[in-house]
């Protein structure tokens, strides 16, 4: 699926701002841990500085998790997921709750550095991106974040609707948003027809983003979190993926609806966190 132009309005490539990526990654990862839930507005207002924030009363995953973004762009969500995971584990480091603030901060900082290096070395962060330039930025960002030269090796430049996804603990995605009426205009009629052939429930005005929910289900992903336009929960878009819920293939474990995209864009969006039901 090649975009003719690269602007976000035309192709739905809305790169996720850091504040939102952090909140989204945290909520997605929280299925493995206990986190106090914070209203989104609060979270976006607080510029998060996990190293100096007081320790949060939380558990942590029993192991580091693998994370895939199948439309990873420049890697905003992957960087946020790796950072959040490292912060969670760093809170469990010896001295992470030391009474002396300096000791505490330096213990957490060193633990975070080592955890990020492990995340990179173990290839836990995976991405698929159609645009080679964006894929290259994502690779470089992961190397810079983790300090591990191989950390970007699992970012593939490919069409994620076509190729198989690497099996991962968590899928996290902000896929391209394009209303059904605009798919043919922007990507061509042949593309739209092949999309509906490929995902037959995507009729009418179903948003392009739905294809990634359907593909996640096809790949039998255990846990998948999506950041999408609010339209995904209405009309043809909703009809296209609701059979997954109706047929108890997936359950919505959490959803946040109707929040404004940060910044000046007048876009309302939602987050949907899906868990695969045991069969
Ligand atoms: C909305 S942007 C989000 C990027 C990133 N996940 C973020 O949150 O900043 C969607 C990305 O999906 C990419 N994309 C579009 N179609 C794709 C496909 N079939 N396979 C892989 N990537 C695709 C676009 O190039 C774009 O970078």
Residue 11 belongs to a domain: no
pLDDT for position 8: 59
CA of 78 to the centre of ligand 1 (A): 12
Ligand 1 within 6 A of 73 CB? yes
One domain for residues 245 and 183: yes
> Domain tally for the chain?
2
One domain for residues 127 and 23: yes
Tell which one of 135, 139, 175 to mutate to probe ligand 1, the residue whose CB is within 8 A of the most ligand atoms: 175
Ligand 1 within 6 A of 265 CB? no
One domain for residues 272 and 191: yes
CA of 130 to the centre of ligand 1 (A): 7
pLDDT for position 258: 82
Secondary structure string (H, E, C) spanning the chain:
CCCCCCCHHHHCCCCCCHHHHHHHHHHHHHHHCCCCCCCHHHHHHCCCCCCCCCCCCCCCCCCCCCEEECCCCCCHHHHHHHHHHHHHHHCCCCCCCCCCHHHHHHHHHHHHHHHHHHHHHCCCEEEEECCHHHHHHHHHHHHHHHCCCCCCCCEEECCCCCCCCCCCCEEEECCCCCCHHHHHHHHCHHHHHHHHHHCCCCCCCCCCCHHHHHHHHHCCCCEEEEEEEHHHHCHHHHHHHHHHHHCCCEEEEEEEEEEECCCCCCCEEEEEEEEECCC
CA of 31 to the centre of ligand 1 (A): 24
One domain for residues 135 and 24: yes
Residues lower than pLDDT 50 in the chain:
1-5, 7, 35-36, 39-58
One domain for residues 148 and 94: yes
pLDDT for position 91: 80
Ligand 1 within 6 A of 170 CB? no
pLDDT for position 93: 80
pLDDT for position 45: 39
pLDDT for position 9: 61
pLDDT for position 257: 85
User: Which residue segment(s) compose the domain that 238 sits in?
Assistant: 175-279
* CATH number of the domain residue 272 falls in: 3.40.50.150
Task: Name the pTM for this structure.
Answer: 0.88
């Amino acid at each position: 699926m090649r975009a003719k132009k690269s602007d976000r309005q035309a192709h739905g490539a809305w790169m996720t701002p850091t504040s939102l990526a952090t909140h989204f990654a945290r909520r997605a990862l929280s299925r493995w841990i206990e986190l106090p839930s914070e209203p989104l507005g609060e979270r976006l207002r607080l510029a998060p500085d996990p190293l100096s924030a007081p320790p949060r009363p939380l558990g942590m995953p029993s192991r580091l998790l693998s994370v895939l973004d199948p439309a990873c762009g420049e890697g905003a969500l992957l960087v946020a997921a790796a950072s959040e995971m490292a912060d969670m584990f760093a809170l469990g480091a010896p001295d992470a709750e030391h009474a002396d603030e300096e000791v505490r901060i330096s213990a957490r900082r060193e633990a975070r550095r080592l955890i990020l290096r492990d995340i990179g070395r173990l290839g836990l962060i995976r991405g698929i991106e159609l645009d080679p330039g964006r894929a290259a930025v994502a690779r470089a960002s992961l190397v810079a974040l983790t300090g591990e030269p191989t950390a970007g090796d699992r970012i593939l430049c490919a069409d994620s609707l076509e190729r198989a996804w690497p099996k991962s603990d968590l899928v996290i995605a902000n896929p391209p948003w394009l209303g059904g009426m605009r798919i043919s205009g922007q990507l061509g009629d042949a593309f739209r027809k092949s999309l509906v052939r490929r995902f037959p429930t995507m009729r009418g005005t179903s948003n392009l983003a739905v294809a990634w929910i359907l593909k996640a289900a096809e790949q039998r992903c255990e846990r998948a979190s999506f950041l999408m336009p609010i339209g995904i929960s209405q009309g043809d878009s909703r009809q296209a993926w609701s059979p997954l819920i109706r047929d108890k293939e997936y359950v919505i474990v959490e959803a946040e609806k109707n929040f404004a995209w940060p910044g000046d864009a007048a876009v309302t969006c939602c987050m949907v966190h899906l868990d695969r039901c045991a069969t």
